[in-house]
Each structure stands twice: as structure tokens, then as C-alpha cells.
Amino acid sequence: MNTTELILGPLVGDLSHDSVKIWGRASGAAILYAWLFDSGQVKQAGKARVDRKTGFAGVVEIKDLQPDTWYRYALTLSNEGPPAASFGRFKTAPVPRQLKNFSFAFGSCFLPLEPDPGLTFQRISRMHGRASFLLMVGDQIYADLWKHNGLKDHIALDKEDYNEVYRFAWSNKHMREVLKNIPVLMTQDDHEVDNDWHWKDSNRIEAIIPWHIRLRRWLLGRPLVERSLTLERLRVALQTYWEHQGMHGPELLIPSTVKNNQVQLEPGKPFSFAYTYTYGGAAFFVMDTRSMRMRGHGKGEVLGNEQWLKLKSWLRDVNDEYPIKFVVTSSAFLHFLLGDYSLDRWSGYPRERNRLLHYLSEHEIEGVYLLTGDLHSGHAISVDIKGRSGKNILLWEFCASPFEQESNWLAWLLTLRWLPNKLWKNYKVHFVKGKFNYGVVNVNFENPENPKVEFELHYLDKKWKVKKIGS
Ligand SMILES: [Fe+2]
């Protein structure tokens, strides 16, 4: 008897106006079959073989779809058509540059903690089941939190461990329901590998977890193996990231990062999981702020040279064609928390942060919205940047975090309301909420000359409440 089953998924990843990628992970070697339910009939739409090399995860791409159209789909391990009741749904994107209103959800940091974990996902399904997509902007697993990662009291150390952490967190029934019915785009933060990890040098020869985390683990009597980050552990963590979060996403900006679904981690070679995509009249740049992050010898770097060059050319390319641009960064860019000794956000890398601000000013790039997570509190911040011609350029940051994790309830007190920088003025913190939350962004093109972007932070304060801010 064949006992192989689909243990994670299905989920719809990258979607365009005429195609989608459907992802699943099986418990063993299998063939993934994708199905569409069309005009009362179940039709096979494609298949893909999965094996141990990709942790039994794989993607079926379906092409030649109609733009802006609802479809019902299924993913199975059997070549017999599944019953209609088991089908999920997705809607293809509008044709590129079409100025059509849309809404998407975003958030970060999911650690199954509650007695019935996944409260935020339950609410997303109920209230935003028709969102155009969901952006998950980091900490989709917590590989290093030994009490809550499903590994029975140790941090993820090898491939089996990382696979198991994903299986444990992502088999949450509320999360699975969301991922089945809302297309999802993902990027990593630190906990996909280990807490605040980074490279020690720009050639990426040695990776490390910061001293304060090593000290804490030592004080807690954790074994030596949990106080270092070997290249092999890093490689398997990034490979497992690719298998769960990357392979169903858009094409990478640096394609040599992954060859034949195998992550290529070679010292000195360009590497990044960053990608771009568009949705109607909005363009998205999803940064990888982790794979190239370096701190040491008095230097610090977040993006790495190649990703930085890609970001610059993307900003120039989309500036006139797309009135709205979203830059997704797993680490907060404009926010500063008093007493943040870890220096793990962009505020710990002021030179590189100013480089981006300069670039926006120099090229007068308007309509940029930063989307971030990580902080275990949500916020909205805006600043004015002075453009080269003297024009005012408004830059926003919307943060949604955590879906579920210990919230930073002191964030409202510790978030600096006044943060001087010679490149901006009118630094304004509109709100901060240290509660379970997720964000919804409404993009409105009714006046094409002056499109509007509205951010709603949905947060759980005994009951669900909403904070709204618009541009
Ligand atoms: Fe987090």
C-alpha cells in the first residue's frame, strides 16, 4: 500500500497574469499532480516528480491562464481526479501596469505558541480570504527556539531537523487553510537559520551567531554545538529555506544562487534570494537582508554588492512605469527601538541605509513604501526626503509582526518618536502596537494621477481592532 502523503501544501506561490506555481511537500518520493476545476470538469494541469534531493518538495507550474480570473485548483499524489470539495482557489494577477485597485495582506514571525495556534491565520481566512496575495516577510519558522520548534528540546542542527521544524510549524491547520486559498510570497529573516546570524567577513568564509546569544545559551547550559554556526548547518538551513519558501517564488535576481534546486553557497560568489514582481500598477522588490549580511572588522553590510546594484537598477526602471513601489525588507528600515543593543536592524547599518535614502533623493523616486516585520510589534512611520530639485519625497514604512510570538508590549514606549538624520525631516511615528497582528494594504488607483495606499494594522487586543493610516 502506498502511504506517501502530502504533508505540507498545497500553496500557490508566484502568480502572474497568465501563470501560477503550485507547491507541496510529500512524505516521500512521489509525483505531484496539479488539477484545475473548470466548467464543471476536473482537468489535469501538470505534474512534477519530487525526491530526497529537494526534501520531497516540488512545484507544478500552470501556464496559459486568463488574467484577473478566479480558478479552483488541487494538488494530489494520485493521477485520479480529486473530488471538487477538496479544491482551493486563486485569482490570476491583472495584466502588468493595469491600474486596478487591489488589496494584499502581510506579516511575519510565526511561532505556534497558543493552545490553538494560528489565531491570526484564522482571522485572515475569515476576513481577507479574497486578498490578492499574502506576503510573509520573515521568521516563517523559529529553527532555534528549542521549546517550540517541534524538535523536543534542541535547536535545528541538520537537514532532518530543519525539515521537521517546517513540518511542525506549517502543518498548523489555520495556516494551511490560508496558504491553500491566498497566493503567498515569502522572504526569510534570521530564524530560518538561527537568531541574528551573520557573516564575519565579506567573502563569507565564516558565519556566526552574536556573542550575546552565545552567552545566553552558555548560561542556559546549552551544548557547544548550539553555540556555533557551521557552514554545513548554514547550507542545510538555506537549502531547506529554498525548498519551502523559495522554489515557488518568482525567479531570483541572482539566478546562480540556486542550480537545479540546490543552493550554491560558495565563498566570494554573488548570492541572494532577492526577487521582484509586479501586480497591476504596483512593483515589488523583495530584499534578502540575511544571506549576505556581514558584520566584523569595523564594517557592516546588509544587501551585498550585487543585490544593491539590482535594487538601484530596479528603482530606476520602475520609477516612471509603476506609480507605486513596495520594497520588502525583513529588517525595519526607519524604526529605532531604545536599548536595541543587537544592532540587527537597518539602524545598525546607517551607512547603507543612508545610501538608499540618497539614491531615492538623487533620482527623485516617489511612491515608495517599505514593508517590514521582525519587531514583534506593528507600526507606521513616515519621513520626508528632500529630492535633488528640492521636491518633497514622502517615504513610508509599514510593519506587521508578529503573527504569533511573544509580543513586544513595551514597543509603544521604547520606539523613538524623534530620530534625527540629515537626509530626512518630519520623522513621524503614526502608531506602534505590540500585539499579535497582520497588515492589510489597499492600493487605490481611482485617481491615476494620485494613487492612494492605505495601511490597516489588524491587532488582537482582547478582541480584534484595526488602526488605519493612508497616504
Ligand atoms: Fe521574529
Running along the chain, 471 residues long, what does each successive block of 10 average in pLDDT? 88 97 98 93 96 98 97 96 90 96 98 94 98 98 96 96 98 97 98 97 92 97 97 98 98 98 94 97 98 92 96 96 97 93 91 97 97 98 96 97 95 92 95 98 96 98 96 70
What's the CA-to-centroid distance between 112 and ligand 1, angstroms?
12
Grid coordinates standing for 455? 495601511
Q: Residue 376 Cα, ligand 1 centroid: separation in angstroms? A: 6
Cα distance between residue 397 and residue 264, in whole Å = 33
Distance 232 CA to ligand 1 centre (A): 23
Q: For residue 2, what pLDDT is reported?
A: 64
Ligand 1 mean position, distance from CA 273 (Å):
19
Q: How far is the CA of 195 from the centre of ligand 1 (A)?
A: 9
Q: Label residue 118 exposed, middle or buried (CB < 10 Å: 0-12, 13-18, 19+).
A: buried
- Cα-to-centroid distance, 375 and ligand 1 (Å): 6
Predicted local confidence at residue 118, as pLDDT: 97
Joined grid coordinates for residue 52: 530526497
377 within 8 A of 352, measured Cβ to Cβ = no
Instruction: Report the 10 Å Cβ neighbour count for 109.
Output: 27
Dihedral sign of CA atoms 111, 115, 117, 119 in order: negative
Q: Which residue has the cell 497574469?
A: 17
71 alpha carbon to ligand 1 midpoint, in Å? 33
User: What was the pLDDT predicted at 1?
Assistant: 55
Instruction: Give the C-alpha distances (Å, rounded to integers) separating 386 from 81, 165, 346.
Output: 59, 46, 20
Task: Match 517564488 to its residue by C-alpha cell.
Answer: 249
Distance 147 CA to ligand 1 centre (A): 15
CA 101 to centroid of ligand 1, rounded, Å: 31
Residue 428 CA to ligand 1 centre (angstroms): 24
How far is ligand 1, taken at its centre, from the CA of residue 358, in Å?
29
3-state secondary structure the chain: CCCCCEEEEEEEEEECCCCEEEEEEECCCEEEEEEEEECCEEEEEEEEEECHHHCCEEEEEECCCCCCCEEEEEEECCCCCCCHHHCEEEECCCCCCCCCCEEEEEECCECCCCCCCCHHHHHHHHHHCCCCCEEECCCCCCCCCCCCCCCCCCCCCCHHHHHHHHHHHHCCHHHHHHHHHCCEEECCCHHHCCCCCEECCCCCCCEECCHHHHHHHHHCCCCHHHHCCCHHHHHHHHHHHHHHHHCCCCCECCHHHEECCEECCCCCCCCCCCEEEEECCEEEEECCCCCCCEEECCEEECCCHHHHHHHHHHHHHHHHHCCEEEEECCCCCCCCECCCCCCCCHHHCHHHHHHHHHHHHHCCCCCEEEEECCCCCEEEEEEEEECCCCCEEEEEEEECCCCECCCCCCHHHHECCCCCCCCEEEEEEEEEECCCEEEEEEEECCCCCCCEEEEEEEEEECEEEEEEEEC
Residue 83: what pLDDT? Answer: 87
Contacts of residue 86, Cβ cutoff 8 Å, sequence gap at least 6: 74
Q: How far apart are CA 5 and CA 32, in angstroms?
A: 10
Structure-block grid coordinates of residue 375: 519587531
- Please name the amino acid found at residue 7: I
Calculate the CA 191 to chain-centre distance.
Answer: 12
pLDDT computed for residue 101 by the predictor: 97
CA of 344 to the centre of ligand 1 (A): 12
Cell readout for 235 is: 547550507
Give me the residues paired with residue 59 across strands. Answer: 23
Gap from CA of 26 to ligand 1 centroid (Å): 27
Report pLDDT for 21: 98
- The span from the CA of 405 to the CA of 386, in Å, is 38
pLDDT at position 382: 97
